[in-house]
Structure 1
Amino acid sequence: MRKKIVAGNWKMHKNAQQTAALLQDLMAKIPATTEAQVIVAPTFVNLASAVTQLESANIGVAAQNMHQAEGGAFTGEISADMLTSIGVKTVILGHSERRSLFHETDALIAYKVDTALAHEMTVIFCFGEELKDRQSDNHFNIVENQLKDGLFHIANESWSKIVLAYEPVWAIGTGETASPEQAQEMHEFIRETVRKRFGAEISDELTILYGGSVKPENAKEIFSKPDVDGGLIGGAALKADDFLAIVSAI
């Protein structure tokens, strides 16, 4: 049985007080019977307090990024050891904004993956095509290459620590959303790509999330597709009622 996950990427939103208030709201309203594993990813400065606040709640905490080095003269950066030392055991890597705005390459993201796995962290690995790739019918090649360059070097046993998050870049923060059929088509392709290299046992157990303007109105239809195992949620994760409506759609 594949894990169902709904993760909220808060990006650069919510100060300390706002973070505490949103977490409190989530804790008060989260359905006791939800089938999904719920994860939130506040900013770095609010991770420690989030871990403490959620200690007795059924909500996990993830970091939005981390540096690939164990330590050193990297001003402003955060290491895997720093994250795990405060109880953060999950990290989002390869998000489209890290790739586009901060010029992170597949090779760099692969290095980060290795570091996270060495610290026994779970990786939410993001990837996806831009609009020009889809318009030129090159989206499958782009996705396949991002997968292979970022993850296909890892050992079979490491896949238990990998969650994939397919995010068509053209549908992030734009209000545009891949149709449920487009999402299923790509998720099926992703699972088959992993199966060809690592076998059915790994691909069948692999959780693949969809990320790209998921809202309460469209979540149920997207999540109903057989190869969509949940979502990596952006803007809708910043409002408790919207986020929990998406969680309830699993």
Structure 2
Amino acid sequence: MRRPMVAGNWKMNGDKALVQQLLGHFKSNIRAENADVVIFAPYPFLYQAEELLSASGIEWGAQNFYIEASGAFTGEVSLGMLKEFGCKYALVGHSERRTLFGETDEMCAAKVKAALGAGVIPVLCVGETLEQRESGVTEDVVGQQVKAVLELVGAEGIGQSVIAYEPVWAIGTGKTATPQQAQDVHAYIRKVVAEQNAEVAEKIQILYGGSVNASTAEELFAMTDIDGGLVGGASLKADDFVTICKAAE
């Protein structure tokens, strides 16, 4: 049976005081015994995550990174630097990175490969826009995003990763895919992986990300192929995130 996961993506939000408050609350109220719990904090707050979450059972990670180990790449952060702060996970290809910063399927595949090589678990984000869903090409879009990674790292590599399906039209909009809509895409993603390796497909964690909140989490997580959530705004609300984690556990 796959172990559930709940990941909180804070995006570019927070300050030292809020981070102290949130992490303290999570540490006191989230057991993380029957589910993996991960916080993706902005770079400046990773030191607080390491300081406050060590030995709590809650993991932390980065929202982005650059594929090179070092060099003249002003403004970028390497995987080695992230590991210095105890990061176990890193997001790859979040829809905001794809749409706002031009990250392509090929770039995302290269980042997955770099993360695996550095011993960091990549959380690969895939998903379609509203226009693509209404045009009936959801599976084509999501399938290509997954296949680009499979082509570079193979089933073995993707099996060491986590996948997060995030319909772009449901991020930060308050809209959520119905549990069945989400389940259908999750099942399709598992099918794409199974075409290369059925065992890996059965074991890989696939999260749903798209305005997951305290009231929708339980029904979403009950779906066969949904193994947890990549949570945005609700991860900045202490009690709501705890409720979501309990739904996964």
User: Is TM-score (shorter-chain normalized) higher than 0.5?
Assistant: yes
Provide closer, same or farther for how the CA distance between residues 51 and 33 of structure 1 changes in structure 2, counting only shifts above 3 A. closer
Q: Which amino acid aligns with 1:208?
A: I
* SS at 1:231 equivalent: strand
Deviation (angstroms), 1:34? 4.9
The alignment status of 1:119 with 2:118, answered yes or no, reads: yes
Match of 1:157 in 2: 156
> Gaps spanning 5+ residues in structure 1: where?
none
Q: 2:198 aligns with which of 193, 197, 200?
A: 200
Are the equivalent residues in 2 in contact too, given 1:94–1:126 (CA < 8 A)? yes
Match of 1:237 in 2: 235
Separation (CA, whole Å) in 1 of partners of 2:162 and 2:20:
27
Worse overlay, 170-179 or 147-156: 147-156
The alignment yields a C-alpha RMSD, in angstroms, of: 1.2
Are the equivalent residues in 1 in contact too, given 2:159–2:201 (CA < 8 A)? no
The alignment status of 1:97 with 2:118, answered yes or no, reads: no
Are the equivalent residues in 2 in contact too, given 1:127–1:143 (CA < 8 A)? yes
Are the equivalent residues in 1 in contact too, given 2:150–2:157 (CA < 8 A)? no
Q: How many positions carry a matched residue from both structures?
A: 248
* SS at 1:153 equivalent: helix
Are the equivalent residues in 2 in contact too, given 1:90–1:122 (CA < 8 A)? yes
TM-score (norm 2): 0.96
Are the equivalent residues in 1 in contact too, given 2:19–2:45 (CA < 8 A)? yes
Provide closer, same or farther for how the CA distance between residues 52 and 133 of structure 1 changes in structure 2, counting only shifts above 3 A. same
Are the equivalent residues in 2 in contact too, given 1:94–1:109 (CA < 8 A)? yes
Aligned residues: percent identity? 44
* SS at 1:154 equivalent: helix
Are the equivalent residues in 2 in contact too, given 1:121–1:161 (CA < 8 A)? no
Separation (CA, whole Å) in 1 of partners of 2:157 and 2:146:
15
> Gaps spanning 5+ residues in structure 2: where?
none
Q: 1:214 aligns with which of 205, 212, 228?
A: 212
The alignment status of 1:37 with 2:66, answered yes or no, reads: no
Q: Which amino acid aligns with 1:108?
A: M
Provide closer, same or farther for how the CA distance between residues 36 and 93 of structure 1 changes in structure 2, counting only shifts above 3 A. same
Deviation (angstroms), 1:163? 0.3
Are the equivalent residues in 2 in contact too, given 1:34–1:247 (CA < 8 A)? no
TM-score (norm 1): 0.96
Match of 1:226 in 2: 224
